[in-house]
C-alpha cells in the first residue's frame, strides 16, 4: 500500500514564476492538506481539500491556490514566486476532516526560488 506521494522531489524556480506541486493521497484517503515548512521552522497549514472543495485555509496570500481532483489527488499552485516561498511543501492525507482522523504526511517537495 503506497503512502502519500509527492512530485517533484525538488525544483528550482526564479522569482516571479509560477509552480505546481502534486500530491497523491494514501489509498482510501479522501482529504488532502498542504503545509509549508520553511528552514528551521515547523510546518504551517496552507489549506485543506475535501470533496474537491477548499474547506479551510491558513494565513497565506491568494498567490497560493489549490485543486483536488475526483481521484482525491491534489495540486498546490503558487503564482508570482517570492524568495520567501523557498521551503519544503508537505502534503498530508486523511480519511475525512474530523479532528480525530490521523494525517499521513508525504516526503515533501523542496522548492528553491532564486
Partner 1 sequence: AQSVTQPDIHITVSEGASLELRCNYSYGATPYLFWYVQSPGQGLQLLLKYFSGDTLVQGIKGFEAEFKRSQSSFNLRKPSVHWSDAAEYFCAVGGGATNKLIFGTGTLLAVQP
- d(CA 69, CA 56) in angstroms, rounded, equals 17
Q: How many residues does the chain have?
A: 114
- d(CA 39, CA 108) in angstroms, rounded, equals 13
Residues 56-85 as x/- pattern, contact with partner 1 by CB under 8 A: x-x---------------------------
Site for partner 1 (CB under 8 A): how many residues?
A: 29
- d(CA 78, CA 15) in angstroms, rounded, equals 11
**CB of 80 vs partner 1, minimal distance in Å:** 25
Q: Pick the closer one to partner 1 by CB: 5 or 65.
A: 5
> Which of 19, 25, 43, 81 forms a contact with partner 1 (CB under 8 A)?
43
Amino acid at each position: 500500500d503506497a503512502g502519500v506521494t509527492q512530485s517533484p522531489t525538488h525544483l528550482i524556480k526564479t522569482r516571479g514564476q509560477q509552480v505546481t506541486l502534486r500530491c497523491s493521497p494514501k489509498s482510501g484517503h479522501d482529504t488532502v492538506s498542504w503545509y509549508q515548512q520553511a528552514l528551521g521552522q515547523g510546518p504551517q497549514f496552507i489549506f485543506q481539500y475535501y470533496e474537491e472543495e477548499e474547506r479551510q485555509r491558513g494565513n497565506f496570500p491568494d498567490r497560493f491556490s489549490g485543486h483536488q481532483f475526483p481521484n482525491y489527488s491534489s495540486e498546490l499552485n503558487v503564482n508570482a514566486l517570492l524568495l520567501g516561498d523557498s521551503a519544503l511543501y508537505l502534503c498530508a492525507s486523511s480519511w475525512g476532516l474530523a479532528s480525530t482522523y490521523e494525517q499521513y504526511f508525504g516526503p515533501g517537495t523542496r522548492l528553491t526560488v532564486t
